[in-house]
Amino acid sequence: MGFRGGFRLRLALAILLFAGCFSVPALAERRVALVVGNGAYKNAARLPNPKNDAEDVAAALKRGGFETIVGLDLDKAGMDDATARFARAAREADVAIFYYSGHAMQFSGVNYLMPVDARLTDETDLRRMVRVDDIVADVQQAKNLRIMVLDSCRDNPLAEELKRSIGRTRAAAVSRGLAKIDSPQGMIVAYSTQSGRTAEDGTGRNSPYTTAFLKHIEATDEIGTVFRRVSADVYEGTKRTQLPELSLSFIGEFYLRGRPTPTIAAPSPVPTPVNEAASAWSVIQNTTSQAVLEDFIRQFGGTIYGSLARARLDELKKSLVAVAAPVAPAVPPQLAQPAKSAPPVQQAVVAPPTRPSAPSADAPKPAVGVFPASRTVKIGVLSDMSSLYADLGGPGSTAAAKLAIADFAQTNPEIKVELLSSDHQNKPDIGSNIASQWFDVDKVDMIVDTPNSGVALAVSQVTTTKNKVFIVSGAASSDLTGPRCNANTVHWTYDTWMLANSTAKAVVKTGGNSWFFLTADYAFGHALERDTAAVVEKNGGKVLNKVRHPLNTSDFSSFLLQAQASKAKVIGLANAGGDTLNSIKQAAEFGIVKGGQSLAGLLIFASDVNALGLATAQGLVLTESWYWDANDANRAWTKRWQTERPGKFPNMVQAGVYAGTLHYLKSVAALMSATDGKAVVAKMKETPTDDPLFGKGTVRADGRKTHDVFLFEVKKPSESKYPGDLYKLRATIPASEAFRPLAEGNCPLARG
């Protein structure tokens, strides 16, 4: 891996020139640090380690040439004074470090550090804490390198007290652990554990994180290597229960204890295992391939990067499943068609798996031809696995895809199928990066699900560039089959045009002719608002105003007050998931419905209704393309799905993942190839769809899958007879009317 010839000479010269930025001896470079250890809390359980942590870290940094401000058991006034002194020092410094050990918490995504005199009777008391964002601004004043270390994600009893004081609706704003900080340029942000999780206090003199930090901070290694070694030691030292989170965003190298003096004439050193491991890890650290990680561990398992690879592999195994043979359905044949007169009881939710039943007479026949024995079809479930849309897709979508693969394998056992899954975190850049890696490195053939229209639009573009297949079930934007359609994308389950032309039309026709929109401020919300406003106005209604809120908002009070003041008859909720739930709950607190206005949930799922409870959700009118309790086939499939998701009920997105995956695999089998994405999608369009959940249908030229959809009303608690009995049917909208006419979508594929 060494550099050769003239390039080595140029590189060495460049190192000598660049050394002035990051490796100047301590006397020529000003280094400042603020180290705070808060443990003697007056209104919460005391922490034994922070004082020791701060004293030991401060001593280590002083040995490294830092001017160190040390704060032990600081109250609010003391923290304000220490941070002010640090801010003034950082302005003149080349390097600044902030190290904190103690209690901290997050509220509505904002992180706070807790002085020892902190109390939380209500959210006003947050003003008596120190905002981490303010510390970030102080650290950022340093000229070259800025480091923030937060050994502070311990369980916080005051957070629970705050939850109780502010009520059930707003309690969701108080989250476990700390919120992630995206490190600004030139900065390192290190958490003692992953964002949103809690860390161990430890039983020795120092916490597990500080113990590892003290072990490595005085080493002569580059600072990035130092922090990666700290992470690896913490993970191993806590028996793989605590994995620190690290965000590095700087260019160049930095050595706290000086760097090796570069020499031009000397030959390149023989690569060491650690150096080779570091180079290899930088390439594969984000892989979702189990085989790649296992190969890395075989080669470099004895290095710190081997520990990081094992941590990555452990996480991956929780979401990665390979299916190469038929999998047993969860329902015995005698239960496959339960009578409607005997509704399912609670025990049916956790029905045990049994041997597979024989394929039915109308099951798909094995394709004629031979699929290459060495070829594996790879499918990736790209979803929200941990945030506001996790119940809509998430692990439930992965479970649905497994069932599709199992059903396909019954008649096509010779075709191997591998299933991967990953969390796009509702960020288009992360989603598109995962898609690119899956397609290029892991050789994935098809991606499915992807709630969040912004992510879906980005992944759709990557898919067509790579000539793969993308089946959208979770995202809603009708632009996916409109102006931004392509020959590699199929939109399966629902879209914003469908929602608007069913729910909104029904509401306007029953007198809801003036609207105020509460809209999620990203692609999905904009599209749903646009399509719904068009329907309202087309049917004689008026849109009085709108307000847009950030994704994953916990406090809707200001938005709802604007809606209430508008006097609109209908407040249209152009959002989804947790945002919709919080909107409805907080609207009830403000008495909006009691005051005469109504709420139109433009995208509500069965999982949302379950979360709200029938007492809150009763009377809501909504549109779905699939409901678990609509017929015998849906109920039988639900029992199978519940073997992996006990106590839950699937929704239309998860049903769409199953049906879309099954139709894709049938098309691959018909072609005897998954290589050419456009050819596979063309086959999907050519072949009529037919599956147990959506029945017969078609995929149009624009990629829109068409089927009947249903207008439901949420039952009253007195009308519900068993768990999951949520809806009564108001209308069936035929496929020919449910989706936007092909000629009106402006999709280039529909023009010729």
Q: Is pLDDT above 80 for 734? A: yes
Q: What is the mean pLDDT of residues 540-562?
A: 91
pLDDT (tens digit per residue) in 326-343: 333 333 333 333 333 333
Query: Taking the CB of residue 743, how many other CB atoms lie within 10 A of it?
Result: 10
**Per-residue model confidence (pLDDT) at position 283:** 58
Query: Taking the CB of residue 92, how many other CB atoms lie within 10 A of it?
Result: 12
Determine the Cα–Cα distance for residues 151 and 209; give it in Å rounded to an integer: 7
Quickly list H helices, 190-324: 208-216, 223-237, 273-284, 290-300, 304-319
Sheet order of strands, 446-449 included: 321-323, 416-423, 376-383, 446-449, 469-472, 489-491
Determine the Cα–Cα distance for residues 692 and 26; give it in Å rounded to an integer: 71
**Per-residue model confidence (pLDDT) at position 47:** 87
Token couple for 328: 């047993």
Whether 593 maps to a domain, the answer reads yes
Quickly list H helices, 441-546: 453-466, 496-499, 505-509, 523-538
Look at residues 184, 80, 171, 175 and name the one whose alpha carbon lies nearest to residue 139.
Answer: 184
Q: Which is more confidently placed, 495 or 126?
A: 495
Domain shared by 680 and 652, yes or no: yes
pLDDT (tens digit per residue) in 403-412: 999 999 999 9
Q: Strand, helix or coil at 586?
A: helix
Question: Which percentage of the chain shows pLDDT scores above 90?
Answer: 50
Last residue of a domain, which of 258, 291, 326? Answer: 258
**Per-residue model confidence (pLDDT) at position 740:** 95
Determine the Cα–Cα distance for residues 64 and 708; give it in Å rounded to an integer: 69
Q: Is pLDDT above 80 for 556? A: yes
Give yes or no for a contact between 363 and 411, defined as CB atoms under 8 angstroms apart.
yes
Q: Is pLDDT above 50 for 523? A: yes
Q: Kindly state the helix (H) or strand (E) to which residue 733 belongs, with its residue range.
A: strand 727-733
Q: Strand, helix or coil at 359?
A: coil
Amino acid at 552: N
**Per-residue model confidence (pLDDT) at position 435:** 94
Domain shared by 437 and 380, yes or no: yes
**Per-residue model confidence (pLDDT) at position 158:** 53
Domain shared by 225 and 369, yes or no: no
Does the global pTM surpass 0.75? no
Q: What is the mean pLDDT of residues 363-375?
A: 60
Helices vs strands, H then E, count in the chain: 24, 26
Look at residues 653, 686, 659, 680 and name the one whose alpha carbon lies nearest to residue 488.
Answer: 680
Beta bridge partners of 97: 33, 147
How many Cα atoms occupy the beta-carbon half-sphere of 502 within 13 Å?
32
**Per-residue model confidence (pLDDT) at position 276:** 67
Q: Which is more confidently placed, 269 or 305?
A: 305
Whether 16 maps to a domain, the answer reads no
Q: Is pLDDT above 60 for 451? A: yes
**Per-residue model confidence (pLDDT) at position 14:** 35
Whether 571 maps to a domain, the answer reads yes
Determine the Cα–Cα distance for residues 38 and 108; give it in Å rounded to an integer: 23
**Per-residue model confidence (pLDDT) at position 210:** 92
Domain shared by 486 and 502, yes or no: no
Task: Show the beta-strand stretches assigned E in 584-688.
Answer: 598-601, 621-624
The terminus-to-terminus CA distance of the chain in angstroms comes to 53
Look at residues 507, 728, 725, 729 and name the one whose alpha carbon lies nearest to residue 600.
Answer: 507
pLDDT (tens digit per residue) in 46-97: 888 899 999 999 999 999 899 999 999 999 999 999 999 999 999 999 899 9
**Per-residue model confidence (pLDDT) at position 186:** 73
Whether 57 maps to a domain, the answer reads yes
∠ CA 650-499-505 to the nearest 5 degrees? Answer: 135
**Per-residue model confidence (pLDDT) at position 286:** 62
Domain shared by 356 and 485, yes or no: yes
Q: Is pLDDT above 90 for 120? A: no
Q: Which is more confidently placed, 308 or 567?
A: 567
Whether 230 maps to a domain, the answer reads yes
Q: Is pLDDT above 90 for 439? A: yes
Range of the domain at 586: 497-624
Report CA dihedral (67, 72, 74, 78) to the nearest 10 degrees. -30
**Per-residue model confidence (pLDDT) at position 639:** 96
Domain shared by 130 and 209, yes or no: yes
Q: Is pLDDT above 90 for 616? A: no
Domain shared by 638 and 600, yes or no: no
Q: Which is more confidently placed, 162 or 487?
A: 487
Task: Determine which of 23-32, 180-189, 484-493, 526-535 has the lowest per-residue pLDDT on average.
Answer: 23-32
Amino acid at 316: L
Q: What is the mean pLDDT of residues 540-567?
A: 92
Determine the Cα–Cα distance for residues 748 and 345; give it in Å rounded to an integer: 49
Determine the Cα–Cα distance for residues 679 and 672; give it in Å rounded to an integer: 11
Amino acid at 679: A
Q: Is pLDDT above 80 for 131? A: yes
Categorize the per-residue pLDDT at 316 as very low, low, confident or very high, splitting at 50, 70 and 90: low
Amino acid at 276: E
**Per-residue model confidence (pLDDT) at position 458:** 94
**Per-residue model confidence (pLDDT) at position 319:** 52
**Per-residue model confidence (pLDDT) at position 40:** 93
**Per-residue model confidence (pLDDT) at position 610:** 86
Determine the Cα–Cα distance for residues 515 and 529; give it in Å rounded to an integer: 11
Task: Determine which of 42-56, 264-278, 549-563, 649-663 has the lowest per-residue pLDDT on average.
Answer: 264-278
Amino acid at 239: K
Query: Taking the CB of residue 564, how many other CB atoms lie within 10 A of it?
Result: 17
Length of the chain: 752
Determine the Cα–Cα distance for residues 103 and 15; give it in Å rounded to an integer: 41
Determine the Cα–Cα distance for residues 415 and 443; give it in Å rounded to an integer: 16
Categorize the per-residue pLDDT at 196 as very low, low, confident or very high, splitting at 50, 70 and 90: low
Q: Which is more confidently placed, 221 or 338?
A: 221
Over its C-alpha atoms, the chain yields an Rg (Å, rounded) of 29
Q: What is the mean pLDDT of residues 533-554?
A: 93
Give yes or no for a contact between 99 and 120, defined as CB atoms under 8 angstroms apart.
no
Burial 14-27 (b: 16+ CB within 10 A, else e): ebeeebebbbeeee
Q: What is the mean pLDDT of residues 614-624?
A: 89
Pairing mode, strands 95-101 and 31-37: parallel
Whether 12 maps to a domain, the answer reads no
pLDDT (tens digit per residue) in 12-46: 333 333 333 333 333 458 999 999 999 999 988 78
Domain shared by 71 and 167, yes or no: yes
Last residue of a domain, which of 598, 624, 650? Answer: 624
- 686 by Cβ neighbours in 10 Å (0-12 / 13-18 / 19+) ranks as exposed
CATH of the domain at 474: 3.40.50.2300
pLDDT (tens digit per residue) in 491-518: 999 999 999 999 999 899 889 999 999 9
Whether 722 maps to a domain, the answer reads no
Q: What is the mean pLDDT of residues 585-611?
A: 88
Token couple for 113: 């550090």
Last residue of a domain, which of 667, 684, 707? Answer: 707
Domain count, the chain: 3
Token couple for 9: 């000479």
Domain shared by 72 and 188, yes or no: yes
**Per-residue model confidence (pLDDT) at position 172:** 39
Domain shared by 464 and 597, yes or no: no
Q: Which is more confidently placed, 280 or 619?
A: 619
Domain shared by 245 and 137, yes or no: yes
Q: Which is more confidently placed, 752 or 554?
A: 554
Q: Is pLDDT above 90 for 174? A: no
Domain shared by 172 and 129, yes or no: yes
Q: Which is more confidently placed, 248 or 57?
A: 57
Give yes or no for a contact between 147 and 97, defined as CB atoms under 8 angstroms apart.
yes
Categorize the per-residue pLDDT at 743 as very low, low, confident or very high, splitting at 50, 70 and 90: very high
Pairing mode, strands 174-175 and 187-191: unpaired
**Per-residue model confidence (pLDDT) at position 136:** 87
Give yes or no for a contact between 723 and 346, defined as CB atoms under 8 angstroms apart.
yes
Whether 23 maps to a domain, the answer reads no
Burial 654-673 (b: 16+ CB within 10 A, else e): bbbbbbbbbbbbbbbbbbeb
- 73 by Cβ neighbours in 10 Å (0-12 / 13-18 / 19+) ranks as buried
Give yes or no for a contact between 3 and 268, defined as CB atoms under 8 angstroms apart.
yes
Determine the Cα–Cα distance for residues 718 and 733; give it in Å rounded to an integer: 27
Average pLDDT, the chain: 81
CATH of the domain at 240: 3.40.50.1460
Q: What is the mean pLDDT of residues 1-7?
A: 33
Question: Which percentage of the chain shows pLDDT scores above 70?
Answer: 78
Q: Is pLDDT above 90 for 658? A: yes
Token couple for 8: 């080595």
Task: Determine which of 72-86, 91-105, 305-319 has the lowest per-residue pLDDT on average.
Answer: 305-319
**Per-residue model confidence (pLDDT) at position 121:** 77
Task: Determine which of 179-183, 456-460, 588-592, 599-603 has the lowest per-residue pLDDT on average.
Answer: 179-183
Quickly list H helices, 487-593: 496-499, 505-509, 523-538, 557-566, 577-589
Query: Taking the CB of residue 739, how many other CB atoms lie within 10 A of it?
Result: 25
pLDDT (tens digit per residue) in 255-279: 777 655 444 434 444 445 556 676 6
Out of 248-262, 365-379, 669-683, the most confident range is: 669-683
